[in-house]
Amino acid sequence: MLNIKVVGSGCPNCQKLEALCSEVVSEKGFEANIEKVTDVNDFAELGVFITPGLIVNDNVLSQGKIPTKSTLEHWLMDNIK
């Protein structure tokens, strides 16, 4: 199961990243928990210093950008337990 955290204050890019994660998880049939982290106080603790941030299974995979759909698919497939 994938534990996905989308880290950001809720800006349009953060919303796009969350929607992209949901889309890929749904299309690929991955078993995943997608969590939004919006508390600014938690960002640095999680290792995210530029939003939007993407954390999968406690690994920071991106900061400050939205990955392409194909890149996100590969990252999620690589992190399936």
Catalytic amino acids?
Answer: 11, 14
Would you call 35 helix, strand, or coil by DSSP? strand
CB 18 within 8 A of CB 55: no
